[in-house]
Chains A and B, each alone.
Chain A
């Protein structure tokens, strides 16, 4: 009997109604993610990658099909699936430490445990000096570190990331990618990561799921076999990049035809 996947998306579709117009954002998406896997969803805007992620998070209810987390249907947001937003979504009135401790505190853990947990994860993302700073005093990269830490501090089984590094400058983005991989390898985390950067997907993922628009759907999957740490300048990396890029573009040309 095969290992039970942490996430099993079965025939999920999503149709919105906008001014009486039906818009199919996602059609018949099927995807399984195993514990500890790093999966990237990639595709042009309108391919439904964020919709799929938000359905897994429990923020959106699918119009058809269902998402199963450990074989149980997702009915709403819960701490087992932590989300990292592109715009951080930090609580501006809480300090870095309080933001990171928000989940444990919400779960009603004793104050002492909350503080210890928060401090541990403040440490993990290297923000000790800024533990008592407010979000508006932080740079974008630091804010995203807080957002990642608060999900980890909450013992999430799976981290859902919606273009988390999309708003950061190139150097900060590379550094956070390295840090994320480091944390992922140390903690056996499962990550579902939405991006529109081919390079980012190849650098991070065990498996890249290519999506295409009109209506949004999963087009193909691609396993990245490159050994880690990956070198984005290596010929092997470039080869994978070319192939994936061809796949993405062939979808586009097919659509245009």
Chain B
């Protein structure tokens, strides 16, 4: 049999040489740092030479970040409140995302599998899709009032479409051949849903979940413009109102890091569950 494939898959099973891997990782890490560090230097120089007077220097932001997280420097209304805002935002992001998943995945499966449901819902959903989440803000405040419920709804809306569309795509894109294979092996039409459709659609559903979670973090700032007292979006809005740019930048950094970490977690789970898929290797 083909020696290359045997050797190839054997190599994939065996643990690779640790030193080579660490060197490669270190190199990738170093490469990834170049652009951010260059930007930091540029930012610092720009502040030093007075090109801008409204933006604090990186060092000031760093100092404020420490105070924001642990307090003890400025001891103002925002000192040592990072965890409160982060938790508030996380609960909305993950809550809205979870609700979007619970609604969009089954709905996507229904639309993908059932022609009547598709005829009923698809045109409406496609018509609503181009409306940006930001445009929903006023209506959402009327419907759900000022506060957390509004934010929750907007996050839900932001995560909903990518999950729905990718689920429909995954369910509809199952190779016909796999249904033929299943039926000639004695798998009944009803059992094929669990044995063929769902597993075949998982890569696509996961792509939707990943995009959806990304968008949930994306819209959290808008969501928290609805007058909630806590949350990273609220911090950024407060910072803007109070002309405290360092607060705005701190909020941006925390959202960036939190969004990044939650994306890595989804990718880790995805790579673990989709080990069978050649396009999902870590």
Choose one: A59, A94, A139, A151; the contact of B5 (CB below 8 Å): A139
Task: Please indicate the chain B residues that have their CB under 8 angstroms from the CB of A133 in the complex.
Answer: 9
Q: How many A-B residue pairs have CB under 8 A?
A: 92
A103→B181 CA distance, assembly (Å): 10
Number of interface residues of A (CB under 8 A): 39
What is the interface residue range for chain B against chain A?
Answer: 20 to 34
Choose one: B1, B177, B186, B202; the contact of A78 (CB below 8 Å): B186
Q: Determine if B1 and A172 form an interchain contact, defined as CB atoms under 8 angstroms apart.
A: yes
Residue of B nearest to A91 (CB): B178
Task: Please indicate the chain B residues that have their CB under 8 angstroms from the CB of A85 in the complex.
Answer: 177, 180-181
A81→B186 CA distance, assembly (Å): 10
Asked if B199 is at the interface (CB within 8 A of a chain A CB), the reply is: yes
Q: Determine if B181 and A134 form an interchain contact, defined as CB atoms under 8 angstroms apart.
A: no
A103→B199 CA distance, assembly (Å): 17
Choose one: A95, A103, A137; the contact of B185 (CB below 8 Å): A103
Asked if B82 is at the interface (CB within 8 A of a chain A CB), the reply is: no
Asked if A136 is at the interface (CB within 8 A of a chain B CB), the reply is: yes
Shortest Cβ gap from B182 to chain A (Å): 7
Q: Determine if A57 and B202 form an interchain contact, defined as CB atoms under 8 angstroms apart.
A: no
Q: Determine if A83 and B181 form an interchain contact, defined as CB atoms under 8 angstroms apart.
A: yes
- Residues of B176-209 at the interface with A, using a CB-CB cut-off of 8 Å, are 177-178, 180-188, 191, 195-196, 199-200, 202
Asked if B114 is at the interface (CB within 8 A of a chain A CB), the reply is: no
A150→B187 CA distance, assembly (Å): 13
Q: Determine if A81 and B5 form an interchain contact, defined as CB atoms under 8 angstroms apart.
A: no
Task: Please indicate the chain A residues that have their CB under 8 angstroms from the CB of B6 in the complex.
Answer: 139
Task: Please indicate the chain A residues that have their CB under 8 angstroms from the CB of B5 in the complex.
Answer: 137-139, 142
A31→B139 CA distance, assembly (Å): 70
Shortest Cβ gap from B273 to chain A (Å): 9
Shortest Cβ gap from B192 to chain A (Å): 9
Task: Please indicate the chain B residues that have their CB under 8 angstroms from the CB of A106 in the complex.
Answer: 182, 185-188, 191, 195
Q: Determine if B276 and A92 form an interchain contact, defined as CB atoms under 8 angstroms apart.
A: yes
- Residues of B84-111 at the interface with A, using a CB-CB cut-off of 8 Å, are none
Task: Please indicate the chain B residues that have their CB under 8 angstroms from the CB of A87 in the complex.
Answer: 177
Choose one: B186, B187, B188, B276; the contact of A136 (CB below 8 Å): B276
Shortest Cβ gap from B9 to chain A (Å): 4
* Given A76-B183, A139-B5, A142-B1, 13 further pairs, Cβ under 8 A: A57-B184, A58-B184, A59-B184, A78-B184, A83-B184, A85-B181, A91-B196, A95-B276, A106-B195, A139-B2, A142-B2, A154-B185, A175-B1
- 22 of the cross-chain contacts (CB-CB < 8 Å) are A57-B180, A76-B183, A77-B180, A78-B184, A79-B186, A81-B184, A83-B180, A89-B181, A93-B202, A95-B276, A102-B182, A103-B186, A103-B187, A106-B186, A133-B9, A136-B278, A138-B5, A138-B9, A139-B1, A139-B5, A140-B2, A142-B2
